[in-house]
Amino acid sequence: MTRDPAILIGIDVGTTSTRVVAFDLSGRTLAAATHGYAMATPRPDWAEQNPEDWWEATRQGLRDVAAAIDPARVAGLSFSGQMHGSVFLDREDRVIRPALLWCDGRTAAEGAEALRIVGRRRFLSTIKNPPLPSFTLPKLLWLRRHEPRHWRRLACVLLPKDYVRFRLTGRKAMDVADAAGTAMMEVGAARWAEPLLKRLAIDPALLPPLLPSTAQAGRLTAEAARATGLREGTPVVAGAGDQPAGAVGVGVFRQGQCMISLGTSGVIFAPTRRAVADPTLALATFDHAVPRVSYLMGCMLSAGGALQWHRNVSCGEEMAAARQGGFEAYDLMLVRASRVEPGAEGLFFLPYLMGERSPHNDPKARGAFVGLSIRHERPHLTRAVIEGVSFGLRDCLEAVRARGVGVTEVRATGGGARNPFWMQTLADVLGVRVRCVESPEGSALGAALMAGVGVGVYNSFNAAAEAAVRLGPMFRPSAGARRTYEALYAGFRALYPALRPHFHRA
């Protein structure tokens, strides 16, 4: 009698919703559920959530999925999660106050103070990143300064997905890949930076034990089993933050590979064998979910978001035609843009509509069309937007290369990766092969694959990727377009320094 094949569950605790997906060992989706929740902004630059909302969304998502599968076949489950957010618990494991999220900007003063006390050189040599407002350390310092009543109750700080995992298992822990984004762990060494924390008068006992991403962090308790519909004792694997989990989900593990995620923002993720701080602060340096691998990450704040803005502002005709024809306006916009020659007849677009993080790290940067003439029509503008975002990603790639990390293959994911014209443009601008990934469940699939490696149904990350990651078409740089874009890239790079004084005056 043959045993029924195993099922793996990936849980992605995101900023607006939690998605729970059950996969078979070939990466095929068997069942999925998504439950959303609100983000509170009680003051400008504040962003908070109630951790109970994450738990309730996960609990309900697991119940939905468990009803559609055989829970006895679930070999394990694991997590992807929004990074950096802070869950403050007291000695009875009660949540003290709403969690401060990654996008909360209230802690700039605390981060600057930590950098001054510790020293920039020591911070970068130990943590590999400065204590940015999005990271967890400044949130702790903010709590101590502004809410001393809550600080006195504090017994433990967890990251969002780690709190949900605690509710499932009753055990507190944090995986190394997510802890790397707290600004409290020695990146590349997998240990809390205790001397640095003591310098800031933070007790390391507030932090939970560190685990590898594929370590079994516990098993489903009887109470959690009743709440979710899964079986008591189901193994729960530690997991990782959303970016390394997403990289696992597209099979990007080794130096030389690179993941580009084209959603509202644009993320470039490049594994490296050695944790290398970027003194220019163009890139973040964190630990991967894969053992003994770190990664460099750059983030453009407006990628697909820039195209969405252009559609909403300029492309009413395409939107009307799409509504009438039952297709996406983006498809028509990009078909028309593809008929324009590379370079859009001298038109450049700077994609800094929300400021920029990588590589300029300038919140006052702004978007611009440069070189407009009476010859330019909407398809020229669309092509310029696609090229401008691609040039911005090239900026991030050059920052990776400047750190001594070569890239020979890009795997692309996200909404923008579904369009062949954009993928060919990206290959031509970057000068490397771009391979699309077919699975739309990148982070949740990555979580499931970590569960599979953790419980032994795959014997390695490579085996997991070979079994479950389905690759789409490959786009190779075209020699003619490549030469054109090399010349145009030099012009693009000259624009931000020239316009920066105006951006800051404005």
Among 9, 96, 3, CA closest to 51: 96
Cα separation of 201 and 501, whole Å?
40
Residues forming the active site: 242
Which SS3 state, helix, strand or coil, does residue 437 take?
strand
Residue ranges and CATH numbers for the domains of the chain are: 7-243 (3.30.420.40), 251-425+476-506 (3.30.420.40)
pLDDT of residue 103: 87
452: part of which helix (H) or strand (E)?
helix 442-455
Contacts with 327 (C-beta within 8 Å, 6 or more apart), sequence order:
none
- Kindly report, residue by residue over 355-378, the tens digit of the pLDDT: 998 999 888 999 999 999 999 999
**Which CA distances in Å does 103 have to 82, 180, 182, 307?**
10, 17, 14, 22
Q: Are 306 and 351 in contact (CB under 8 A)?
A: yes
Find out whether 253 and 462 touch, Cβ atoms under 8 Å. Answer: yes
| The Cα angle at residue 475 between residues 470 and 480, in degrees rounded to 5 | 175
Q: Quote the pLDDT of residue 2.
A: 42
Residue with tokens 């949540």: 95
Yes or no: say if 448 and 442 are a contact pair by the CB < 8 Å rule: no
**50, 51, 164 from 38: Cα distances, Å:** 9, 11, 17
pLDDT in tens, 407-437: 999 999 988 899 999 999 999 999 999 999 9
- pLDDT confidence of residue 328: 93
pLDDT value of residue 349: 98
3-state secondary structure of 252: coil
User: Which tokens go with 206?
Assistant: 């507030």
Q: Judge if pTM exceeds 0.85.
A: yes
Q: Could you tell me if 147 and 136 are in contact, meaning their C-beta atoms sit under 8 angstroms apart?
A: no
Q: Are 40 and 48 in contact (CB under 8 A)?
A: yes
User: In the chain, which residues have pLDDT < 50?
Assistant: 1-2
Given a contact cutoff of 8 angstroms between Cβ atoms, the answer to whether 97 and 88 are in contact is yes
- Structure-token pair, residue 48: 């908070």
Amino acid at 435: R
Q: Percent of the chain beyond pLDDT 90?
A: 91
How far is 163 from 96, CA to CA, in rounded Å?
Answer: 13
Residue 235 forms beta bridges with which residues? 219
Cα(458)–Cα(53) distance, integer angstroms? 33
Phi, psi of 486 (to 5 degrees): -60, -45
State how far the Cα of 194 lies from the Cα of 290, in Å rounded to an integer.
24
Q: How far apart are CA 8 and CA 20, in angstroms?
A: 11
Distance of alpha carbon 290 from alpha carbon 320, whole angstroms: 46
Query: How many angstroms separate the CA atoms of 175 and 162, rounded?
Result: 8
Q: Model confidence over 436-449: pLDDT tens digits?
A: 998 878 899 999 99
